[in-house]
Amino acid sequence: MTTKFTPDHEYIRIEGDTGIVGITQFAQEQLGDIVFIELPAIGKVLKKGDEAAVVESVKAASEIYAPVSGTVSEVNAALSTEPGLVNADPEAGGWMFKLTLADVTETETLLDDAAYADLTK
Amino acid sequence: MSPTSPRVFMAEPESQDLKQTPLYARHVAAGGRMVAFGGYALPVQYPPGIMAEHKWTREHAGLFDVSHMGPCFLMLNERSGDADRDHAAIAAVLEPLVCGDIAGLPPGKIRYTLLLNEGGGIEDDLMVARPPTGKEGGLFIVVNAATKDVDFARMSEAAGQVARLQRADRGALLALQGPEAAAVLARLVPETADLAFMEYGLYDWNGIGLSVSRSGYTGEDGFEIRCYAEHAETLWDALLADDRVKPIGLGARDSLRLEAGLPLYGHDLDLTTSPVEADLGFAISKRRREAADFPGAARILAERSEGPKRKRVGLIVEGAPAREGAAILDADGAPIGIVTSGGFAPTLGKAIALGFVPPDFAQAETVLQVSVRGRPQPARVVPTPFVPHRYHRKTA
């Protein structure tokens, strides 16, 4: 199991051919209190970089992009009643959606832990 | 994820030559996230975040740096020494630009009024105070940050040879807002307890001159306090030394004013919006209305009797917040208006918005929709304020 990152502050945790997507600790701190999350429909086919979800803070809406290509297989339904989970626990309980990866090798283009840490330093 | 911090507050390009208020170092030291706003570097939030800061202000007292605003003095060049005659003379300078009764302001009182253009559109909204007894012959005026240079030029021109405009925006302007604001300020300056909503006084605090208005932009009781720049940090620190007070950023200032149903110039009001459309008819005084002697009187008075083409309303939105620019649709999905301010209301735990719709759709409880990212969401018209005002009004 590895976790990769985008320069736009999404993470994707890869478990076999499934990727679990959310936003990083850094991103949730930047956004502040999250009050509403719009999640993709299950079955939606996304290309890398497509808009996948929208996170609303008190002040603004921010788009979440698909880190890699794939099909949405599951969404975190808890976020519809408790969007603050993304603030409290972004990289575990605050995950947003799961993708069945179209091409596992695509994840190699993403940032690893060290490279992402470097970006947000 | 996109965007990160800069667009979290109102979009404004990054700039190298942002002005700093006298409290800039205090904001940075307190961990304020500085953003560009009205040409100034100001904190959008401190570490607790917009939600916590908003709620703190509603429950205790929030301290805001609003030194970017445009305070100024409009002063007679020559005073007669007769208080009423001097006030009448300075009021006569300002009145041709606004729709309020400035001549009728008693000493120490403040009036909310509007700078209008000949088309009846709003150039700015502003506060005008008549100084307390003994200090007549001038007006203390506060205009908006983004419009202040234009406003000051307009008022200077109107002053002609009779009066002069003196900018006062190099100093500090602090807002202390919330149910505990009065008790906090009374600990420093006990006499401020005597002020009622929309009253104004001049006070001495340990040798530091303070001009204090009982007013604000949150819907709560509170004060706006002006002092010279060199005293700003002393005053800021003294207010924050009271543990009922926390510093509050621009983000919560915006969510607080939105809940209070207070329009924001440049968003809910602009050069095309009339006071009647904007539901600010109360700002047109009876005397001025009867005399029809203010800019744009023809349009504005016609709208008063025949109704405007559009009206500002409050909306409660189900689901994602509808932001500025979102289309307002009727129940069948036809576009009828536009959201001019929108966001999440921390006090209510739901999305709210201000926007303009034709009068037929402006009745409370009218069922409408808003288009968010191309999808319609239910919305309904509600009376404003969304959260009741808690001003300290004087009981007769």
Q: Find the CB nearest B4 among A30, A35, A58.
A: A30
DSSP A8-61: TSEEEEEETTEEEEEE-HHHHHHH-SEEEEEPPPTT-EE-TT-EEEEEEESS-E
Which CB contacts under 8 angstroms, 24+ apart, belong to B263-266? B263/B125, B263/B312, B263/B340, B263/B341, B263/B354, B264/B341, B265/B122, B265/B124, B265/B125, B265/B144, B265/B146, B265/B147, B266/B144, B266/B146, B266/B147
Does residue B214 sit in helix, strand or coil? coil
pLDDT in tens, B299-350: 999 999 999 999 999 999 999 999 999 999 999 999 999 999 999 999 999 9
Across the A/B interface, how many CB contacts are shorter than 8 Å?
77
Which tokens hold the place of B237? 């620190």
Q: Which residues of B94-104 are buried (b: 16+ CB within 10 A; e: fewer)?
A: bbebbbbbbbb
Q: Which carries the bigger pLDDT value, residue B264 or residue B2?
A: B264
What length does chain B have? 396
Does residue B187 sit in helix, strand or coil? helix
pLDDT in tens, B164-175: 999 999 999 999
Number of domains in chain A: 1
Q: Which residues 300-339 in chain B show a CB within 8 A of chain A?
A: 319-321, 323
Residue B100 has pLDDT above 60, yes or no: yes
A66: distance to nearest CA of chain B, Å?
9
A111 in a structural domain: no
The residue behind tokens 């999404």 is: A10
Q: Find the CB nearest A32 among B2, B45, B254.
A: B45
pLDDT in tens, A40-95: 999 999 999 999 999 999 988 999 999 999 999 999 999 999 999 999 999 999 99
Kindly give, in sequence order, each residue whose CB lies less than 8 Å from that of residue A107, ignoring residues fewer than 6 positions away: A2, A4, A12, A14, A19, A67, A68, A101
The residue behind tokens 């030029």 is: B153
B343 contacts A63? CB cut-off 8 A? no
Within 8 A of A34 by CB-CB distance, chain B residues are none
Residue (of B267, B359, B250, B368) closest to B316 by Cα position? B368
pLDDT of residue B9: 38
User: Do B299 and B121 contact (CB within 8 A), yes or no?
Assistant: no
* Predicted complex: ipTM over 0.90: no
* Torsion (CA) B8, A8, A67, B324 in degrees, nearest 10: 20
CA distance A94 to A53: 13
Q: Which residues 14-53 in chain A show a CB within 8 A of chain B?
A: 23, 27, 30-33, 35-36, 38
- Sorting pLDDT into bands at 50, 70 and 90, what band is B396? low
- Sorting pLDDT into bands at 50, 70 and 90, what band is B15? low
The domain containing residue A61 runs over which residues? 2-103
- For chain A, what is the total number of helices (H) and then of strands (E)? 4, 9
pLDDT of residue B303: 98
The residue behind tokens 């202000």 is: B57
Q: Which of A21, A55, A58, A95 to mutate to test the interface with B (most CBs of B within 10 A)?
A: A58
Does residue B361 sit in helix, strand or coil? helix
How far, in Å, are B279, B370, B382 from residue B330 at the CA level? 21, 8, 15
CATH annotation of B70-167: 3.30.70.1400
Q: Find the CB nearest B8 among A10, A54, A59.
A: A59
Query: Is the Cβ of B376 closer than 8 Å to some Cβ of chain A?
Result: no
CA distance A29 to B383: 35
Does residue B196 sit in helix, strand or coil? coil
A86 in a structural domain: yes
CATH annotation of B309-382: 2.40.30.110
CA distance B295 to B96: 7
Does residue B108 sit in helix, strand or coil? coil
A65 contacts B1? CB cut-off 8 A? yes
Which tokens hold the place of B38? 């009205």
Neighbouring C-alpha atoms within 13 Å toward the C-beta of B197:
15
Q: Find the CB nearest A60 among B8, B52, B373.
A: B8
* Beta-ladder partners of B223: B176
Q: Find the CB nearest B344 among A9, A55, A56.
A: A56
Does residue B126 sit in helix, strand or coil? strand
A21 in a structural domain: yes
Q: Which of B16-20, B33-37, B280-284 is least confident?
A: B16-20
Residue B10 has pLDDT above 60, yes or no: no
A26 in a structural domain: yes
Residue B13 has pLDDT above 50, yes or no: no
Residue (of B36, B20, B391, B361) closest to B199 by Cα position? B391
pLDDT of residue A113: 94
A10 in a structural domain: yes
Which tokens hold the place of B229? 């720049």
User: Do B104 and B37 contact (CB within 8 A), yes or no?
Assistant: no
Residue B2 has pLDDT above 70, yes or no: no
In the chain, the amino acid numbered B26 is R
Which tokens hold the place of B396? 């007769």
Within 8 A of A51 by CB-CB distance, chain B residues are none
* Domain boundaries, given as residue ranges, for chain B: 5-67+171-259, 70-167, 309-382
Within 8 A of A8 by CB-CB distance, chain B residues are 1-2
- CATH number at A20 reads 2.40.50.100
pLDDT of residue B135: 79
CA distance B220 to B240: 18
Within 8 A of B54 by CB-CB distance, chain A residues are 58
Q: Find the CB nearest A64 among B1, B54, B344.
A: B1
CA distance B65 to B27: 9
A95 in a structural domain: yes
B351: distance to nearest CA of chain A, Å?
9
Superfamily of domain B5-67+171-259: Probable tRNA modification gtpase trme; domain 1 (3.30.1360.120)
